[in-house]
Structure 1
């Protein structure tokens, strides 16, 4: 079991999906594969660490398993050893239920999926940190096979595909990034369902860089995502902080499967349990968090676009919405998500949220909320993104940057809708595009046909409509046509056609006429003549 390169790790993990790909949707098989990868990670890490505790450290999983079995079987030593292991790891797996031991069963044709199920259950019960973590892995599902034996075979094949990897051999960045890679691949395969759990990395990068600008050296940075999906957007903060180990992550997710995915993602990125506060719940229905801290340095959000919510009258007394006097409409919760995130932003913090363009110009209650936000100077920047960069929608989207206690009420508009590279069926923001947007954001200056700093008075004149084309004129005039040159070009083309026709007619005259070809040759002469 060799360490290998990051690319080999990515490929090995993705190839292991082949076993399940023909049996179910990517949105379903991701739960099995990512769950099994996480189980193997816990098993491999525990075996290697236990060998170190026994002062005979080895990265050979078979050797580590033999040592673990021996220590576990030693009546005088076992209880003390297990207690120390649980204290340091927060979990333990019985020797016979480790991934390596189950692989021995698979190779001996004695494997039963109930053994794996027990191993998953033992981890869930070892600490509330792991509670219900594997509940989406239904090893009795008919999608794995019509019979228990076929279900056993499917799980065995997936485990075999993972067996050559020692996941304890990769540091948090490599393994965490590989996990992110898989999530991205599943998102691409899932199509519209991807919006439930994934924000494309280039959009995450843009939002995080802007939200963390001038906070790169802050210790104990707090980051909050109340619609966190798989946690990718949250975790991206570590790449742009010089104090990454001190970041505290706060996140909430409605979908239980996706919430568990985010929990695994945190562990695989080596985020200390004390630095992660995650919750499975409805962000709009009940405000969270209500215990300290309740406000954060950075708020990052990619909520579901124009989702429905209750908009019950009681929310008018909710401190998140009360000061605006109206509620976002039932049919479009975009501003409800925005106001929730803004409510939990520190006075010196920064928020970045992805939304459909409708929030920039729709009227009625949304227009009143937008006006109130502009009056208090909350909306700092509006960035127009290209169409077709998200897996779950082809519509163009906007990133809105919000702040509190600004000195100005102006708004920077950036039209980056044409800044992309076409890759297969998707448009992609490359590093050069991201750098251009980020540098324009920092400079906050007018750039012809790309960016404009609009004064509050200018926005007021536009009736608080923030539709980007009102402020950034990207219209390109067509080059004037030289009529004389065009006439000469057409004359030359006609002459060339006449010359070629004469040549072809001469060639046709040389053809031998037979009963079979006479009609064809006459037709050619008529066309060319």
Structure 2
């Protein structure tokens, strides 16, 4: 599929999203639109796979299969390959067709049928390997909600309209790379994030920031055994990492928000990640980690900035091996270092970890200062500090940075600091600042080559870090000060005299015009001799 076709698909899908725009909140119509797109994807995937299984049979079109033995055989194979099963009558196109028929003999009412199909998708996985990945996956698609219509008829009309528009779009799953539809899906997620305000950061990391994190953790690697995101949102960061290498063996993630957790699982499946290759869990990562026994070759994250956590209310935290060695717990109102040390605990010895944090993490004292010093002086895990432009994340304008950690650093006597926050290193797109591809590449190249560049980067020795009392504030290391030009006072005085003479000439002209018109000038006219 060409880039033009890809853009066309994105435009078509966003056009369908706009059917609900202005009628219900962005968060709500996001769930409906993305949910219906996902259902269509599952349906087309099922149809293609079943048709493939029917090659050589009498009936080769899955929609025409009625034989129970044949359906049972397709069901068994589908659960192994796809992880779910849809009967011919449950296919997206069949429901869309019913929605379009409104005659005396047949009603176009499909809400109950649609709900039954979504329930059956989940039920078909019960007792199988994929059960956890499909459990309650459609729970945010409330077809009885008055948000999409005050009456049953009104709700049905909206749903029929969306399904009808979607049915006209050919996803071309047999012809295109899996990432094409996945890209279009993520394009929609990004568009929804742009309009979601403060809540956007809960489920989406801007694409260019994701690219930086992904390129960093795949440095020097062509394959990864595993990648992990403890606050995975919609899963975009995990999927971005996969683009930077030939293969990722397993994807692991954890997400607290239930709706976002469902979105992450849908995103994985829609990117054709097999259900055996990912494990996304819904729990509080700090209080109830789900993959604690695992160690990961790549760790990426964009945790909630300075979140509250139950550091002092859970007595186990002081003995938890994720936190105990540092001597202090992260403050209960600032969980940044709790997330950092949690990720370090799960980082493999040969792994790289990159996480987005607020700038306060670089210099705040008290418990955070103790933890920061231990990470650098005792463990020597910190590899790089990268400052990002302000206002680059949806929903917040606070300055942020990326911290990079390695347990086995190739260059273990210094830390590279990069200041990519200057106006020359991003562009403005409406209210948001965005990184360009060349900005991303400069960051990555500077990190990998570890070179000092005037007003952009600095390679600081550990002795220098110690002399700064382990304060990592970027301006301490990267000098971006611009000297102002010297002001020649005589030249300023001369310009002021010229301005005064010019003003006198203008005033004389105004007085002349006023005299001709017989009106009083709009300012006091000094008499001769005054």
TM-score, normalised to structure 2's length? 0.90
Aligned equivalents of 2:124, 2:188: Cα separation in 1: 27
2:34 aligned with 1:68, yes or no? Answer: no
- Report the CA distance between 1:82 and its aligned residue: 3.9
In 2, Cα distance between equivalents of 1:528 and 1:32: 74
Deviation of the 1:9 alpha carbon: 0.7
Cα offset for 1:413?
1.3
What is the DSSP-based 3-state SS (H/G/I as helix, E as strand, rest coil) of the residue aligned with 2:479?
coil
Poorly superposed stretches of 4+, deviation over 6 Å: none
Structure 1 or 2: larger helix share? 1
Aligned to 1:400: 403
Q: Does 1:238 align with 2:266?
A: no
- Sort the Cα spacing of 1:22 and 1:111 in 2 relative to 1 into closer, same or farther, 3 A: same
Q: Is 1:272 matched up with 2:266?
A: no
Give the Å deviation of 1:527: 6.0
Query: 2:386 is matched with which residue?
Result: 383
**SS, match of residue 98 in structure 2:** helix
Q: Deviation per CA, 1:213-265, whole angstroms, max 9, x where unpaired?
A: 111x23x4311101100000110012211x23x43211111112111111111
Contact map agreement 1:10 1:182 (CA 8 A) in 2: yes
Once the two structures are superposed, what CA deviation does each residue of 1:287-335 show, in whole Å capped at 9, x if it has no partner? 33144xx111111011011111111231121111121122111111110
**What SS does the corresponding residue of 2:19 show, helix, strand or coil?**
helix
Distance 2:292 2:341 in 1: 16
Task: Name 2:168's counterpart in structure 1.
Answer: 164
Compared with structure 1, are the counterparts of its residues 499 and 321 closer, same or farther at alpha carbon in structure 2 (3 Å cutoff)? same
Query: Quick one: which of 335, 338, 343 aligns to 1:333?
Result: 335
Asked if the contact 2:457/2:478 (under 8 Å) is kept, the reply is yes
Q: How many residues align?
A: 506
Give, in angstroms, the shift of residue 526 of structure 1.
4.6
Answer whether contact 1:505 1:528 (CA < 8 A) is retained: no
Q: In the alignment, which residue of structure 2 is the partner of 1:125?
A: 123
Secondary structure of the 2:165 match is helix
User: Does the CA-based 8 Å contact 1:505-1:525 persist in structure 2?
Assistant: no
Q: Which residue of structure 1 aligns with residue 111 of structure 2?
A: 113
SS, match of residue 104 in structure 1: helix
Q: How does 1:88-99 map to 2 (within 5 A)?
A: 88-99=81-92
CA distance in 1, matches of 2:525, 2:54: 93
Q: Deviations over 1:424-452 (max 9, x none)?
A: 00111111211221121122122222212
**Distance 1:273-1:527 versus aligned 2 partners, 3 A rule:** farther
- 2:84–2:124 contact (8 Å) kept in structure 1: yes
1:118-267 → structure 2 map (5 Å cutoff): 118-127=116-125, 128=131, 129-169=133-173, 170-215=176-221, 217-218=222-223, 220-241=224-245, 243-244=246-247, 246-267=248-269
Say if 2:82 and 2:274, in contact at 8 Å, map to a contact too. Answer: no
> Where does residue 105 of structure 2 map in the other structure?
none
1:466 paired residue number: 472
Secondary structure of the residue that 2:300 maps to in structure 1?
Answer: strand
Which segment is superposed worse, 119-128 or 452-461?
452-461
Which whole-Å CA distance do the structure 2 matches of 1:528 and 1:249 have between them?
83
2:96 is the counterpart of 1:103: yes
Matched-pair contact (CA < 8 Å) for 1:102–1:111: no
Unaligned stretches of 5+ in structure 1?
58-62, 514-520
Q: Are the equivalent residues in 1 in contact too, given 2:83–2:275 (CA < 8 A)? A: no
Cα–Cα, structure 1 residues 104 and 333, in superposed 2: closer, same or farther, change >3 Å?
A: same
2:520 is matched with which residue? Answer: 522
Q: Following TM superposition, by how much is the alpha carbon of 1:178 offset from its aligned partner in structure 2, in angstroms?
A: 0.4
Deviates more, 1:230-239 or 1:40-49: 40-49
Query: For the structure 1 residues 443 and 46, does the alpha-carbon distance in structure 2 shift closer, same or farther, using more than 3 Å as the test?
Result: same
The answer to whether structure 1 residue 444 and structure 2 residue 437 are counterparts is no
> Deviation string for 1:348-375 (max 9, x for gaps)?
2111011111111111111110110011
> What is the aligned counterpart of 1:362 among 364, 376, 394?
364
Aligned to 2:128: none
TM-score, normalised via structure 1 length: 0.91
Q: Is the 8 A contact 1:351 1:402 kept in 2?
A: yes
Q: 1:415: Cα distance to partner?
A: 1.3
Q: After superposition, give the CA deviation of every residue in 1:460-491 in whole Å (9 maximum; x if it has no partner).
A: 22221111122222121211112232233233
| 2:7 aligned counterpart, secondary structure | helix
RMSD: 2.3
